[in-house]
Amino acid sequence: MIDIKLIRENRDLVKENIKKKFQDEKLPLVDEVYELDKKVREVQVKADGLKADKNKLSGEIGKLMKDGKKDEAEKIKAEIAKTADEIVKLEQEQEELSTKVKDIMMVIPQIMDPSVPIGKDDSENVEVEKFGDPVVPEYEIPYHADIIERVGGMDKTSAGRTSGEGFYYLLGDIARLHEAMIAYARDFMIDAGFTYAIPPFMIHSDVVTGVMSFPEMEAMMYKIEGEDLYLIGTSEHSMIGKFKDQIIKREELPINMTSYSPCFRKEGGSHGLEERGLYRVHQFEKQEMIVICEPEESMEWYEKMWKLTVQLFRNFDVPVRQLECCSGDLADLKVKSCDVEAWSPRQQKYFEVGSCSTLGDAQARRLGIRAKGEKGTYYLHTLNNPVVGLCTQIGNWLKSLNFQAKSTLISA
């Protein structure tokens, strides 16, 4: 959510940003929220004036009563009561208008960084750099689901009976591989100076709307029926929510944490041959990294964070590349984002294994995450990036490992 002052002072900038994101349908919202905000302030001025009048009249009553002018005092009391009713009506009007302003502001996209390439969708994302050489071995690489099946590592049939489509049991060595990857990712991030955390796996709706946009929420989140709770789609949600309505001491910044959690997602969409196995599942586990920092440090942390993903995968000799997300592929809360993609020798293409984002003060503004400086309180910046996602990406790891000879898994 952008600062309302930007709407008041530079509507053209906000509109140009919307155009660059190819969301022209949102352009009328800028003028609409501008007029609503103007009405809010007009009502506020009127209400403040009436409150001042009310206070002034209240001060006269005691004097009139002391002077024995009871009738005049009663008239002023009636006038005060009438003024009080008008104030209540104005406050109700102001609240209604302010709610409309907030609802619209939640839809208007965050201002992108000038370096973001302009493009309509992910097909126009820009490759920035490659790390390692993509190689296709001479031997045939089985699909990850076939590898797992050969070692008896997964049971989706039984999971279908207990939980439905999109769930699984992991068994034996594959379950051990799963745990080993979690442990490796956790320790990798701790060694990089991040504080380890295990957060709540459910969060309130005001945290959900604080960390993500409404379309994302509808597409991803599972609601706990009858309660104000949602299952998290990633631990970023509860980790950023940890600092809701907090004024953080400047000496405590930056806050950099790495968190483990199960993740729950609706995961609608295609389920083709190359998405069988451990793709499009409703439950998986993930190691995440989040940073809360001073505004002037956010781009420095952005660079550090995506490079950590590259380093982790290069530790396994997996070729990866960095892909800059274009304007049309950038979620509304994000200022800048890039994907790290790993090379799949089986499919002979890259696929996403990490997505690093700086959200500027968008989440902090929604959740009230601030620090206090010489000129008062101000909103901090938030960033996030997955370390590794499991089990959705366990198949990615298996198929992206650059086997120089047939491994035990493949030949089993």
* The pLDDT value given to residue 218: 76
H/E run at residue 224: strand 222-224
Tens digit of each residue's pLDDT (9 = 90 or more) over 216-235: 777 788 999 999 999 999 99
The CA distance from 394 to 132, in Å, is 20
d(CA 179, CA 167): 18
Find where tokens 């993930």 sit: 286
Position 398 pLDDT exceeds 70:
no
Whether residue 356 has a cis bond before it, omega within 30° of 0? no
Q: What is the pLDDT of residues 288-324, one digit of tens each?
A: 999 999 999 999 999 999 999 999 999 989 999 999 9
CA–CA separation, 329 vs 298, rounded Å?
Answer: 20
Q: What's the mean per-residue pLDDT of the chain? A: 88
Residue 58: its H or E element: helix 27-66
- Going by pLDDT thresholds of 50, 70 and 90, the confidence category of residue 254 is very high
222-226, 279-283, 340-344, 395-399, range with the lowest pLDDT: 395-399
**For 239, which DSSP code?**
H
Return the exposure string of 21-44: e unless at least 16 CB atoms fall within 10 Å of the residue's CB, then b: bebeebbebbeebbebbeebeebe
Out of 3.40.50.2000, 1.10.1660.10, 3.30.930.10, 3.30.720.200, the CATH code matching 122-411 is 3.30.930.10
Q: Where are the domains of the chain?
A: 4-105, 122-411
Architecture, CATH, for domain 4-105: Orthogonal Bundle (1.10)
State CA 77 to chain mean position distance: 53
Cα–Cα nearest to 336, from 307, 362, 357, 363? 357
pTM: 0.86
Q: Please list the residues that pair with 321 across neighbouring strands.
A: 130, 341
Q: Which long-range contacts (CB under 8 A, 24 or more apart) does 83-90 make?
A: 83/50, 83/53, 83/54, 83/57, 84/54, 86/50, 87/47, 87/50, 87/51, 87/54, 90/43, 90/46, 90/47, 90/50
C-beta separation of 282 from 264 below 8 A: yes
Q: Over range 58-66, report the average pLDDT.
A: 72
- Tell me the pLDDT band of 245, cut-offs 50, 70 and 90: very high
Identify the weakest region by mean pLDDT among 215-219, 229-233, 245-249, 270-274. Answer: 270-274
| Predicted confidence (pLDDT) per residue in 356-386, tens digit | 999 999 999 999 999 998 889 999 999 999 9
Look up residue 285 and give its DSSP letter. E
> What are the structure tokens assigned to 9, written together?
């002072």
Q: Can you tell me the mean pLDDT for 89-104?
A: 94
Q: What is the pLDDT of residue 162?
A: 96
| 288 residue type, one letter | E
Residue 39's alpha-carbon distances to 33, 49, 97, 231, 405, in angstroms, are: 10, 15, 8, 38, 71
pLDDT band at 163 (very low <50, low <70, confident <90, very high): very high
Which of 96-110, 149-163, 259-273, 377-391 is the least confident region?
259-273
